[in-house]
Structure 1
Amino acid sequence: MYSSLVMLLGQAESGKSTLQKQFQLYYSSQSLDRERPLWRPIVYSNILKALRMLMVELDRQYGAPPGSPSPEATPGSSPPTDSVIMAASAISIDPRWPSDLLPLHATLASLVAHEDALASELSGGIKVSRGQSGVYVRAGWQTLITPNRAWPLTDIRDSADRPTTVTNQVGRTLCGSQGKIAEFWSHPMIRRIVSTKRVRLEESAAFFLDNIHRIAQTEYSPSTEDILHVRLQTLGVTEHSFDIDIGGIAFNWLLYDVGGARHAWVPYFEDATAIIFLAPMSAFDQYLEEDPRVNRIDDSFQLFTAICQNKLLSKAALVLMLNKADLLRKKLETGTRVRKYISSYGDRPNTYEEVSEYFRAHFIQTHRRKDVSQRPLYTHFTSMLDIRATQAIIVNVGESIMRLHMASVGLS
C-alpha cells in the first residue's frame, strides 16, 4: 500500500475541519458513526455560544434588565424566580426593551451560564490568549468527554453513549428551555440584530437555532448534517488516516488538518504529496479576530502567496478550494457590496458570477507570478455543507492527486 500525505491549509474558519469530515464521511463513514455521540456536546456548545452573543449584544444596546442574571454569570447560578422577573419589569429600564423579552432574557441567561463548564470540559482546560473566543481543542479531544477516557475510536462508542454530567445537565436544560429559545430566536428584535449584522454569529448558529426543537430532545443524536455544521476550533495539527482505492491500487491517505497555528505547518511541508488550500470567499466583509485591521480575503491572498513561494512545497500538488460559495451568494443577494470592503473590486457588477470569478482570477494570477515551481493549480468552487457536490469534488481531487503521485514515483 502506498502512502500519501495531504495537508489542509487555510486561515481559521476557512472550512478545513468540515472538509476533513467530508473525507471521513466518504472514505470512512463507519468511523464517523462511531464518533456521532461525541458531537452532541459540541452542538450544545455552538447553541450556547450563539445565545450568549445575542444576549450580550442586547445588553450592550439596551442595558441588562435589572434583576436578570447576566449572560456572563457563573455556572450553577440559580434560575430567576417569577418574583425576580416581575420586580425587574417594575424597575425603570430602557423603554425600547420589549416586555416579552425580559423573562426570556432571564431564563436563557441561566442556560448560557453553563457555557464555561462545557467549554472547559471540551478543551481540557485550554485557555487561548489575545482575546479570541470559542472552544479550542487539541487532537484527541474525544477522550475528554467520555466517562472512562476510552481510546482509540474503535473502543469509544459504548463510552460515548454515556455522556458526562455536564453534557447531561446542559441537555436537560436545553430540553426544558426549547420553547423559550425558539421564542427568543424568532423575536423581531433578535431578527433585527442578526439582519443588521450588529453581531457576527458563527455560520452554523442559525442552522442549530432553527432546529432547536429537534436538537433539544433527551435522546438526541447528532445527524450527519449537524456534524458538518458544528464549529470547533482546533489547536495544533490533527492527523486522519483513510484507505482508498484508485484504479485497483490501494493508497493510505494521511490527511493533516492544521488548526490555525501557522508556525506548526513547517515540519509537515517537505514530504507533502499535496496541499489543499481553502479560501472562504464569503469572508470579504470580515476581519481577523486576532487582528481586526486585516481583511480575511486579504489574509487568504497573503497566506496563499507564502505557500506558493515556499520551496519546501515545490513538489506537492496544489489544489485551491474557493470555499463557502453558498454563503457568498446569500450575502450578495442581500445587497452586501464587495467594493465597500475590497477597494480593488471597483465598479464591477455585484453578482455572484462576477465576484467569484474576480477572486478566482486573483488567486490564479498570484499563483502564476509567485509559484516557485510553476506547477499546475487545480481550482474548485466549493460549498462544504453540500454533501453530494463536495464528495464529487473529493473524488476528482483525490484521483488527480494520486495520478500525479503515481507519476512522480514511476507507477504510471
Structure 2
Amino acid sequence: MSDRSRISSRLPGRTWPPSCSVISRKGSTSSGLSITRLPDPTAQAAQRVSDLIDEDIKKEAARRHSESRREVKVMLLGQAESGKSTLQKQFQLYHASQTLDLERPSWKIVVYANLIKAVRTILEELDYEFSLSVEEYPFPSEGPGPTDVAAQNEILELRRDLIPLISLEDSLASELSDGIAFVGYRRGTLFPHQRGMFRASNRPVTDLRESSKALVATNRAAQVLGTTVHVIEALWRHRSVECMLRLRKLRLDESGLFFLNHVRRIAQIDYIPNIDDVLHVRLQTVGVIEHSLKVNTVGGSYIWKIYDVGGTVNIQRPAWCSYFEDINALIFLAPISAFDQYLEDDPLTNRIHDSLQLLTSICTNKLLKNAQLVLLLNKTDILRKKLEAGVQVCQYITSYGNRPNNFSTAAEYFRSHFLAAHKKKDIFQRRLYAHFTSMLDVQATQLIITSVGDVIMRKHIAHTGLA
C-alpha cells in the first residue's frame, strides 16, 4: 500500500486529499510522513465574527465612558411643594429657553386645572364656615359666619353659577393623570400616583397637545371659563373671602393665588400661558422624573440629567436611592416660609422640622456620599409677606423665643439650624453650599443657578480629568 493510501485509510471518508475539517495540526504517520493540518474555515469565520463583536463592545464601552465624562447628574430633593419642579423649569429656562417656550401651549390645561381647584377650595372652605354653629364660630364679630345670612345667600348664588366650571375638574385631572383613578385628591392632592416609580421626560405635558381628549377638555374649560370669569372675580372679591384670607382661615397655594389674580387674562379666548404662568403651575411630581438639558460651557458642551424626586418619595427607600450612587450633586430645597404649616398626612409635624429630618437622612445616607450638597432655603418672598402680615414665628417654632419677628432675623435663624443639622449629621464632612431663594424670581434664581452650576462643574471636571 502506498504512503498516500496508508494515510487516507486513517482519515474519515478514506478520501484524498483529506477534508479541511480534520486538518488542524502538524502530525506524522507511521511511515514518517509529516502533514500540516489546515484550520477550519467555519471556525475561522466564527472567530472573526466573535472578534468583531468584542471590538464593537469595546468601542461602545469607550463611547459610553466618553459620554459619561460629559454627563452631569443632579438630584432635586425636598418635601412636597418645596419648589423642586419650579427649579427644574428655571434650569430649563436658563439653559434651553427655546424648549420651554415651545411647551407654553401645553401648560394651558394645567393652568385651568389649578385655577378651578382654587375656586373649588374657596367654596368648600366657605361651606365649612357657614356650617358652624354660633357657639363653634370663633370670630362672631367678623364674617363670614353662621349668622351672616346675606353672605350665605350671595355665595350660594355664586356657587350655582360656578357649577359648570367646577364639574370640569375631574375631566382635566383625568387627562393630566393619564386616566388613573384618584385617591383622596379632594384633600389637596390634585394628581394621583402613576404607574411605576421612574419616568423620563424632557417635556412633561407637551404630548397632551396630541391627545384629542385633552384638546376637547381644554377647549371646553376655556369656553366655560370665558362665560364664568365675572362670577369668579365676584367670588374672589367677596367680603367673606377677603375676611377668611385676612384671618388666615383660607390658605391657597401660590399657584391658586396667582391665577385668581390673573383670571381675566387667563379667560381670554386666545390665551397662551406665559413664562410666569408656567413657573407658577402646580403639577404634582410622582416618583422620579428625569429631565435632560444640554449645557454649553467654555470647556465644551455637557448633558445635565436632572432628577426631580417627588416629595412623597421616602429618601431612605433603597428601591430608588440605589440608582443614584453616581450623582454629581444633590440640591435640597427647604421652604422656610412653611414655619406655620404642618404635613397633610401628619398634622403634628411642622414642615420646618420635616425638612430638617429630610436633610439629616440625606447627610447620613451612604449611597449619596459622593454627591455635592447644595441647600436652597426657598420661598423667602412668602416668608417676608407672612412676617409683614404679623404672623408670629414663635407661635409655631417655640425655640424662636423672643427674637425679633422680622425677615432678616427669622431667615438667619432657620439658616443656622439647617447648617447645624448638616454639620452634626454629615458623616462625610462635605461642604454645604447654602443660598436663600425665591424660585419665582427669575433674575435672582438665574444668578444662583450660575453659581451652583460653576461649583458642580468645577468638581466634575476635576474628577473626570477633563480640565
TM-score, normalised via structure 2 length: 0.76
Q: Do residues 142 (structure 1) and 205 (structure 2) align?
A: yes
Query: Whole-Å Cα distance in 1 between the matches of residues 211 and 381 of structure 2?
Result: 41
Query: Whole-Å Cα distance in 1 between the matches of residues 421 and 320 of structure 2?
Result: 21
1:266-322 deviation per Cα after TM superposition (whole angstroms, max 9, x unaligned)? 133301100000000100111111211111110000000000111122211100000
Alignment of 1:12-411 (within 5 A): 12-63=80-131, 95-97=149-151, 99-127=153-181, 129=183, 133-136=189-192, 139=199, 142=205, 145-148=208-211, 164-260=215-311, 261-262=313-314, 263=317, 265-411=320-466
Note the aligned Cα RMSD (angstroms): 2.1
Q: 1:196 to 1:363 in 2, by over 3 A?
A: same
Q: In structure 2, what is the equivalent of residue 11 of structure 1?
A: 79
Deviation at 1:400, TM superposition (A): 0.7
1:345-381 deviation per Cα after TM superposition (whole angstroms, max 9, x unaligned)? 1111111101110111111111111112111110100
Deviation at 1:144, TM superposition (A): 6.2
Note if contact 1:320-1:379 (Cα within 8 Å) is conserved in structure 2: yes
Deviation at 1:103, TM superposition (A): 2.2
Q: 1:142 to 1:104 in 2, by over 3 A?
A: same
1:232-259 deviation per Cα after TM superposition (whole angstroms, max 9, x unaligned)? 1011111111111233232110000011
Note if contact 1:132-1:290 (Cα within 8 Å) is conserved in structure 2: no
Query: Whole-Å Cα distance in 2 between the matches of residues 389 and 119 of structure 1?
Result: 33
Note if contact 1:285-1:338 (Cα within 8 Å) is conserved in structure 2: yes
Query: Whole-Å Cα distance in 2 between the matches of residues 323 and 13 of structure 1?
Result: 10
Note if contact 1:62-1:97 (Cα within 8 Å) is conserved in structure 2: no
Stretch deviating more after TM superposition (363-372 or 327-336)? 363-372
Deviation at 1:148, TM superposition (A): 4.5
Percent identity between matched residues is 50
Query: Whole-Å Cα distance in 2 between the matches of residues 290 and 268 of structure 1?
Result: 27
Q: In structure 1, what is the equivalent of residue 58 of structure 2?
A: none
- Alignment length, in residue pairs? 373
Deviation at 1:27, TM superposition (A): 0.6
Deviation at 1:111, TM superposition (A): 1.3
Deviation at 1:128, TM superposition (A): 5.4
Q: Max radius of gyration: which structure?
A: 2
Query: Whole-Å Cα distance in 2 between the matches of residues 332 and 250 of structure 1?
Result: 44
TM-score, normalised via structure 1 length: 0.86
Deviation at 1:127, TM superposition (A): 4.0
Q: Which amino acid aligns with 1:289?
A: E
Q: Which runs of 5+ in 1 are unaligned?
A: 65-91, 150-161
What is the DSSP-based 3-state SS (H/G/I as helix, E as strand, rest coil) of the residue aligned with 1:349? coil
Query: Whole-Å Cα distance in 1 between the matches of residues 354 and 289 of structure 2?
Result: 23
Deviation at 1:147, TM superposition (A): 3.7
Q: Which amino acid aligns with 2:294?
A: D
Note if contact 1:137-1:232 (Cα within 8 Å) is conserved in structure 2: no
Q: Which amino acid aligns with 2:191?
A: V
Query: Whole-Å Cα distance in 2 between the matches of residues 12 and 192 of structure 1?
Result: 28
Q: 1:125 to 1:199 in 2, by over 3 A?
A: farther
Note if contact 2:327-2:371 (Cα within 8 Å) is conserved in structure 1: yes
What is the DSSP-based 3-state SS (H/G/I as helix, E as strand, rest coil) of the residue aligned with 1:233? coil
Q: Which amino acid aligns with 1:382?
A: T
Q: Which runs of 5+ in 2 are unaligned?
A: 1-66, 133-145
